[in-house]
Copies of this chain bind each other. A is one copy, B any other.
Amino acid sequence: MTENLPTLSESTRTTLRRKRERGAHDRTTVEAILDEGLVCHVGFAEDGSVFVQPTMYARIGDALYLHGAPANRMLRALAAGEPACVTVTLLDGLVLARSAFHHSMNYRSVMLFGTAERVEDDEAKRAAMTALLEHVAAGRSGDTRPPSARELRATLVLRFPIEEGSAKVRAGGPIEEPEDLGLPVWAGQIPLSLAAGVAVPDSGLADGVQPPSYVRSYPRRGAAPGH
């Protein structure tokens, strides 16, 4: 019951200092963005440098799960307790104004702050790997060979809390200077969304294997609400 969950905690890191009307801390908004995105960008420090690494993720309840090879630089740093910032951005469109200055983009983004913990329990690791597949395509985990014990050992799984953070949303058309409204310049929005192309089957599929429905018509649509 998302509605009953507390809001995300605010801090000086998550309180918007500008354009506060674009900010949100309610879990419904935050979770909807996290559940639509496919890639997050993870920021962390190592040896005095900041790194920003893209990776896939999935949400279970009040946590995100990240996974990969144990030698992965980002996973190693986070597993060692390095604090991180995880950002998910959905680009919803271009906003073209009559003036150069007022051009913008429509987007929905979530920025989370926290410290990950390593998932050690095999069943919890399996649940996370299932969630990662289901996040990409609902139904996929039931169609595939599950991870073997060796594959499970070869996968580092991290749990990142959805606790401190905020969402930021811009939607709608351009905001113009009143004196620009009469200019003979086209202004408006160009909606953008992630679109699936025609699936490419792997060579050597077993005889009679047909594409499942999530492959024939990939369901994820990046269009913003109201578009």
Report A's interface with B, CB cutoff 8 A: 12-13, 17-18, 38-39, 41-45, 47, 49-54, 56, 69, 71-73, 83-87, 89, 91, 93-94, 96-101, 103, 105, 107, 109, 111, 113, 129-130, 132-133, 136-137, 140-141, 143-148, 151, 154-155, 173-174, 176, 180-206, 208-212, 215, 218, 223, 227
Cα–Cα, bound, A180→B145 (Å): 8
Q: Contact: A72 with B103, CB < 8 Å?
A: no
Copies of this subunit: 2
| 30 A-B pairs in the complex with CB atoms less than 8 angstroms apart | A12-B47, A13-B51, A17-B71, A39-B89, A43-B43, A43-B51, A45-B45, A49-B85, A51-B85, A53-B111, A54-B107, A94-B136, A96-B140, A98-B144, A100-B133, A100-B146, A101-B154, A101-B155, A143-B185, A173-B203, A181-B204, A183-B206, A186-B205, A188-B205, A188-B215, A190-B197, A192-B194, A192-B195, A193-B194, A197-B227
| Contacting residues, chain B, for A93 (C-beta < 8 A) | 197
Known: A98-B144, A181-B204, A192-B194. 18 other contacts (CB 8 A): A39-B91, A42-B52, A44-B50, A45-B50, A50-B84, A52-B52, A52-B111, A54-B89, A56-B105, A91-B194, A101-B148, A173-B202, A186-B209, A187-B201, A188-B202, A188-B211, A189-B200, A197-B227
Per a CB cutoff under 8 Å, which of B94, B174, B197, B210 touches A202?
A: B174
Q: Helix, strand, loop or mixed for chain A's interface?
A: mixed
Of A12, A133, A195, A201, which is in contact with the most chain B CB atoms at under 10 Å from its CB? A195
| Contacting residues, chain B, for A43 (C-beta < 8 A) | 41, 43, 50-52, 85
Decide yes or no: A89 and B206 within 8 Å by CB, A52-B52, A197-B191, A199-B188 being known contacts. Answer: no
| Contacting residues, chain B, for A18 (C-beta < 8 A) | 69, 71-72
| Contacting residues, chain B, for A130 (C-beta < 8 A) | 100
Q: Contact: A188 with B208, CB < 8 Å?
A: no
Cα–Cα, bound, A174→B140 (Å): 15
